[in-house]
Structure 1
């Protein structure tokens, strides 16, 4: 894989950019930046249905939005130390307009005199109770011998598929799949498939794909037992990431798996087919994702994939 030139995706930066796009598409005021250092901030952790996330909001900004009448009655500015107690006393101190940030509990609430300066910009979201900086987003919901055949069979058409790997996706996450999402390849296979059977494995070289034959073995399905009462929306989908597909015949195939190379087109990494339970659902670009691989979605097939 080191010989294939891939665009590198920094996981956290990509997650922040994707969150920002989702919030803006929904019509919310949002952006990336760094908090000002002019006033105190309320730092907290939030627990919700999408997992735990962390953020902060300006103490005075929150008070002016959450309790505007109280601030108007005060002759002097309310000290930040009192604001944090008010923040802790209110049942729902934050009103968040996006589902992924909805919470049922705030914990680790504390007052900090100045916002920490992050290495990267943080996403922020304007809410009815002031601007909220999200410092940590919720975690995303993770042939040993040559083929021989009679001469009359060697011309039969076959389809060879090069499978990069597989992962699993919940049904409800499939419905939210959109352009720009990155799907992590959790289980690398690098298999050469013929009629659903593994006939070998492949490696990347500067010249193309090098195939190595193995004993024929059925493609593993990695199935898991599902409780009888499981919600249909939570049933996992098996995702497959297809690097290339090539029509060939037995004669040519026999030469390929004996060590010859398969040349890749220059844009092969931008045409990874994503299949859910065997059906094409998206097209994406193969990217370097920290120490592993991922596929950034370029196109989602809402109906039938293009021919």
Structure 2
């Protein structure tokens, strides 16, 4: 199975990675594979997330004058009480980790913190995240694709006819095919965008017919066996469908080489092809990523986004 050869994530891990990437983009120090200390406290915030903190290191940051005393002068139980009773014992965390009150879930051993746990640097030391906050992450500071320059294939269709395969095979030069259903529709990517009016200068979008479209969607749509056009018309620019192609490798072949390919010739594959997937939107490169396995499905982890569609200069 292909999933055995790819990096694998659960949906929960994928969500956590996106959230951590957001925090890192905002300038927070979040990393993995850090070894915690020996006096660890597991706590839960009133907003739903859980963390683990090294009480000794927290005490050193919080009360540096007293922290210089011998550890025999205080006990882990006393530090736990001090931590929980403090007003805002931890500061400098991402906004996703905001809280009003923390509650202790008891002290734990260092083995309770897996190597892959994320540790976020706060003003009072590292906080290992045991459970992420339940609400959606903030999207501030993220880069998005400027997709306005993507090409769209537009068809101005004047109607359609139902025809049998037998009749289609008998069509000859000079025959006339009747248009049984006249519909001046604008379609893109197998979805109806609306109707058009043919004027002397060219085509004009029929904006006055939007209400009629919604009232009679089934009549407006082309039949399923013709390009499988969607039943519901597109009423908003944001609903326009874009075809995304996931390209493992692009190769240039001669006609002779392609013919040999049909007869069993092997075309070399780049050794790191799975880590350099190209994502094409309507035939234009918009991003690159890595092929991963998400539970029981293939996925592409985005590594870079070309803010201007087709701009691959940063590769």
What is the TM-score of this pair, normalised by structure 1?
Answer: 0.50
RMSD: 5.0
| Distance in 2, Cα, partners of 1:106 & 1:67 | 20
Q: 1:28–1:265: structure 2 CA closer, same or farther, 3 Å change rule?
A: same
Q: How far 1:281 sits from its partner (Å)?
A: 4.6
Deviations 1:203-254 (A, max 9, x none): xxxxxxxxxxx734224789999xxxxxxxxx9998864236xxxxxxxxxx
Change (3 A) 1:236 1:55: farther
| Structure 2: runs of 5 or more not aligned | 146-186, 192-223, 248-265
Measure how far apart 1:292 and its partner are. Answer: 2.1
Q: How has the CA–CA distance of structure 1 residues 265 and 54 changed in structure 2, closer, same or farther, with 3 Å as cutoff?
A: farther
Q: Residue 135 in 1 paired to residue 130 in 2?
A: yes
Q: 2:142 aligns with which of 175, 200, 217?
A: 175
- Please show how residues 108-119 of structure 1 align to structure 2 within 5 Å: 108-119=103-114
2:83 to 87, 91, 98: 87
1:62 aligned counterpart, secondary structure: helix
Structure with max Cα Rg = 2
Gap runs ≥5 in structure 1: 143-169, 179-193, 199-213, 226-234, 245-262
Per-residue CA deviation, residues 234-282 of structure 1 (Å, 9 max, x unaligned), is x9998864236xxxxxxxxxxxxxxxxxx99957864442659x99753
Q: In structure 1, what is the equivalent of residue 98 of structure 2? A: 103
Question: C-alpha offsets along residues 31-82 of structure 1, whole Å, 9 cap, x if unaligned?
Answer: 423545633x12112355xxx4321111122112112244458995222222
Could you say which structure has the higher helix fraction? 2
Give the Cα separation in 2 of the matches to 1:128 and 1:236. Answer: 44
Moved more, 19-28 or 106-115: 19-28
* Alpha-carbon distance in structure 2 between the residues aligned to 1:305 and 1:220: 31
| Paired residues for 1:59-78 under 5 Å | 59-71=55-67, 76-78=72-74
Matched residue, 1:242: 245
The count of aligned residue pairs is 215
Distance 1:43 1:177, change over 3 A: farther
For CA contacts below 8 A with separation 6 or more, give which structure has more relative contact order. 1
Tell me if 1:43 matches 2:42: yes
d(CA) in 2 for partners of 1:219 and 1:5? Answer: 36
Does the 8 Å CA contact 1:177/1:300 hold for their aligned counterparts?
yes
